[in-house]
Structure 1
């Protein structure tokens, strides 16, 4: 039983990898190649690369926005209205100034105020910008400021050269990405942040562990000190429940399905587990911690399956030489061509009755590149219908799956028509309890999800979480999960559950990411390094990790089910395994699984008239492989 006292930090599956200037060809990437020092150095380099590319994404999008505003002004719209509307929809634009050629910038029409702490620097760059644009050239200043108060100045001349637009852009997104990736790439110790009263232990030995260095995160789990999760063989009566609460001094008792979460004021998890041994339970375990609205009711699901359903069958096919006009695609989205996404769109682009759940930190419901792609979701943390993202992780994951394609804006997602059901289970720190994750999985299953992305995880095998996974799996949901970012062979959950399809990460050279977890449970690999996607507040960011690899596979699963709705979740798994392009050692290996996903080959297999047989040999092999690891601690087996 004490094998469960390995604390679990459920971390968002973000990872890091370095683009080598000269590709190094490795036949067996792993810990023997990626030492702890190399792994940390690579992560730091990738963090710097992600921030640099996010800066480029911000500057590129701002340049496009400036051109759009000038076009609106040239078309006759009032200058004041154009500037005001842009600032209302883009909070990062602190100051916008339109002026005629020959005027100083102070003489122009201004919207917004200069940042007080950096007014002098901003004014200097605005003066430079005005001189440059009056000469008919585009201007961008270096960054200035510090921390969350970093800015740059953009200047764009009109097409006829008689007027121009300059402005001060607030780049707090750079600090957000830095903070985000420091946690999710495990470049800092587990962040307690006083939000959770948790305890850290080694997952295998159950010894208490002090985490004061990033490398200490490997194999470490976290749990709530004064809580346990209990599943009874038979539900207690009201009298028995009252007795339990009284004896353990319970301050709360929540129930989800057949499982209870008890919280006490003065007893620790070890004491509580010992107490519940007398109650004839299926399991009792610590309450593990996972890191990183209108309800969608039955009538709405019926409508989405009606004859008006938007699907590939009633859309104009794309040509063989089709190239998305999304303005960040060609320069930044190396990931989609690598897995032959564009060629795959000639076979299928999705169907909006195949719903994809993103169980994560929520989604920016107002992001312009996600409009029309999101269904009403749920916030498990707050218990309401507003799954607004306050971290950025879930918005980024969602963009990889379903950002609008060919809309002359931002990035392109992998699916055109599949709708995303956002479910917020992780709070503003990027962490969430087993209860919230399990509840989110069950809610998404009950509200129509056919594919589910789980870019989160930890190293503790929780019976509570597994029950929720089994529930979704039995309801024919295809479950896709990130393997984790510690470059360890220790199985992470939920990815290592046999009902879940586990995803590792590669870079643009088809090399294993140094951070990517590995093991015999890995099914496939997908792009996970410096992935450009949507980010809250109308922004775009580049992030790295197995969290970014997983939604590529989730999107492919959605396309497969759109192409052939008769396929079961096990059939979808088989198609993705069989169609993958082999990497590393021939056949299945622990670093790449069956290889990198191939959209074209997978959709060709999906369109076959006869559904393939279940891939039971591989599923069985995974389960048998995990048995000794799961029970090694309690049986004294050698690990």
Structure 2
């Protein structure tokens, strides 16, 4: 029973990096990669680079937005209306001023304001921007301000040279990305947000543990202080349930299938687990805590619809599913060529020549929800589910799920932002973590089951923990038995401890690599790893119509999820096990020859995978490989070798 205390903190696996420099081109990680100092130094360096790249993404997108506004105004639209619409759609545009040459900024058409404490600095840069644009030059100031109040000034001259658009842009996204990555890369201690009553134990000794320093998180489990999860061998009667609730003084009980979550203020988890020994249970375990830590204000949500009422909306800017594209095709998404190194690396463009997806193969993203109004995503989203609040839409109030979804399904060739890997597969967003980034095993399991019951054929799980939870595994097996291809991030602790759900035999586990096909310094590893995908400084969608660069196995996993969707779109008759085997068989071997614990079978190859799916409609399941993987995991588990998972 106590094996379930082995470890958790199911944390969304984000990480960080830009384009790291390496002393050599060796793909096999050296011993220094696994030292604590090396890992921490690399993470800090990568954090700084990701923030810098996010700043660059923000500035590039703002320049594009300014050009669009100028075009609208010069075509005869009301300047006040154009500026007002942009500010409504992009809250980061604090001030926008349309000004004629020789006219002061105060005389121009203006919308918005900034905090008074930064007006003096802003005024200096606004004056510089005015002078630059009147001489026909584009202008961007350095950053100014601090923490969440960081800004820059931008100026763009009109095409006729008689006017200019000048404004102040709020870059609170830089603080958000920094905060997000500090926590998810375990660069600061486990954050008890005063939202949950949480206990922590050491994985190996099972003793209570206080987490005061970043290194304390590795090998630590976090669970609800006064809750347990119980699966009975036989469903208890109403009388038995009443007896149980009375004896433990339960103040709540939730049920999912044959599994119950009991909560009481009078007993702690260990005492509750001891109590249930007298009942005929299949297992009793702590109620583990799953979390990510990032904060955003809610955005306006999309119109609510039932799945049965969903009507597909065709992307009018892209070729349809049957239209061919040129052999040398490059998408026109305006951030693609400069920032999306990851898609060409895995042969995505060549893969698009074979198949670009289909709306009939639905991809579930079980995460923090999705920004339902993001212009690069909203036409690809199905009505999903919010497990946290039940009836509310799965609006992302954290940011993680929006970023993951963009990797999979950002609209392609729409002259906007980034390109996803799939052009046509629809995304089913399932919100299982709340606005603090925290959620329970119950929520995650419920989200997995709901998605499997509502048409998902591929599922992304960019989350994980170090506890072998029977409750979570039951949900995974339920979806797997319904032929869902389950893809999960391995984690960001640079550890060999197996994490779950990635290490379950039913799940396809993903490690992260960088732009030079080296192991990402944060990426977990082990014999359970199936493949590797890019996970370093991945540009993708972010809440409030923004774009950000994040790194981690959470970013690697959706690359593989999108590939699984393309494979199933190419050949809908393939079973989940066959999809897994195609991705293993076609991966580029980038580490030690054959399967290895750092890269699995290698880096995914989109074109080879979809070609194999097209050429071999039914390859059959490789039972020897599957059997070996399962037996290897079992032998390690019961030989007392405790490994780890995705954070």
Q: Give the TM-score, by structure 2 length.
A: 0.95
Q: Which residue of 1 aligns with 2:181?
A: 181
Q: For 1:222-261, list aligned pairs within 5 A.
A: 222-261=222-261
Q: Which residue of 2 aligns with 1:90?
A: 90
Matched-pair contact (CA < 8 Å) for 1:480–1:500 = yes
Query: What's the offset of the Cα at 1:226?
Result: 0.6
Equivalent-residue separation in structure 1 for 2:245 and 2:436 (angstroms):
30
Q: Which residue of 2 aligns with 1:571?
A: 578
Matched-pair contact (CA < 8 Å) for 2:385–2:392 = yes
Q: Which residue of 2 aligns with 1:394?
A: 401
CA gap of 1:9–1:113, structure 2 versus 1, over 3 A, is same
Matched-pair contact (CA < 8 Å) for 1:507–1:529 = yes
Q: Which residue of 2 aligns with 1:53?
A: 53
Q: Which residue of 2 aligns with 1:406?
A: 413
2:456 equivalent to 1:479: no
Matched-pair contact (CA < 8 Å) for 1:579–1:597 = yes
Query: What's the offset of the Cα at 1:365?
Result: 0.2
SS at match of 1:445: helix
Q: How many equivalent pairs are there? A: 633
Query: What's the offset of the Cα at 1:107?
Result: 1.5
Q: Which residue of 1 aligns with 2:472?
A: 465
CA gap of 1:36–1:87, structure 2 versus 1, over 3 A, is same
Matched-pair contact (CA < 8 Å) for 2:483–2:575 = yes
Q: Which residue of 2 aligns with 1:535?
A: 542
SS at match of 2:33: coil
Matched-pair contact (CA < 8 Å) for 1:17–1:515 = no
SS at match of 2:380: coil
Q: For 1:480-519, list aligned pairs within 5 A.
A: 480-519=487-526
Equivalent-residue separation in structure 2 for 1:291 and 1:403 (angstroms):
25
Comparing 160-169 and 611-620, the one that deviates more: 611-620
Equivalent-residue separation in structure 2 for 1:606 and 1:145 (angstroms):
53
Q: Which residue of 2 aligns with 1:221?
A: 221
SS at match of 1:368: coil
Matched-pair contact (CA < 8 Å) for 2:388–2:434 = yes
Query: What's the offset of the Cα at 1:6?
Result: 3.1
2:634 equivalent to 1:627: yes
2:359 equivalent to 1:352: yes
Q: Which residue of 1 aligns with 2:131?
A: 131
SS at match of 2:625: helix
Equivalent-residue separation in structure 1 for 2:62 and 2:573 (angstroms):
44
Query: What's the offset of the Cα at 1:30?
Result: 5.9
Gapped regions of structure 1 (runs ≥ 5): none
Gapped regions of structure 2 (runs ≥ 5): 293-302
CA gap of 1:485–1:22, structure 2 versus 1, over 3 A, is closer
Equivalent-residue separation in structure 2 for 1:551 and 1:541 (angstroms):
16
Q: Which residue of 2 aligns with 1:587?
A: 594
2:603 equivalent to 1:596: yes
CA gap of 1:629–1:286, structure 2 versus 1, over 3 A, is farther
Equivalent-residue separation in structure 2 for 1:535 and 1:253 (angstroms):
36
Query: What's the offset of the Cα at 1:3?
Result: 1.4
Q: For 1:302-381, list aligned pairs within 5 A.
A: 314-381=321-388
Query: What's the offset of the Cα at 1:255?
Result: 0.2
SS at match of 2:615: coil
SS at match of 1:540: strand
CA gap of 1:296–1:496, structure 2 versus 1, over 3 A, is farther
CA gap of 1:148–1:313, structure 2 versus 1, over 3 A, is closer
Query: What's the offset of the Cα at 1:109?
Result: 0.9
SS at match of 1:169: strand
Comparing 624-633 and 439-448, the one that deviates more: 624-633
Q: Which residue of 1 aligns with 2:296?
A: none
Matched-pair contact (CA < 8 Å) for 2:467–2:500 = yes
Q: Which residue of 1 aligns with 2:107?
A: 107
Matched-pair contact (CA < 8 Å) for 1:6–1:200 = no
Equivalent-residue separation in structure 2 for 1:79 and 1:295 (angstroms):
35
CA gap of 1:588–1:392, structure 2 versus 1, over 3 A, is same
CA gap of 1:107–1:427, structure 2 versus 1, over 3 A, is same
CA gap of 1:638–1:286, structure 2 versus 1, over 3 A, is closer
Q: For 1:46-85, list aligned pairs within 5 A.
A: 46-85=46-85
Q: Which residue of 1 aligns with 2:453?
A: 446
Query: What's the offset of the Cα at 1:31?
Result: 5.3
2:265 equivalent to 1:265: yes
Query: What's the offset of the Cα at 1:385?
Result: 3.6
Deviations 1:377-402 (Å, cap 9, x if unpaired)?
11111112411111100000000000
Query: What's the offset of the Cα at 1:15?
Result: 2.2
Comparing 155-164 and 382-391, the one that deviates more: 382-391
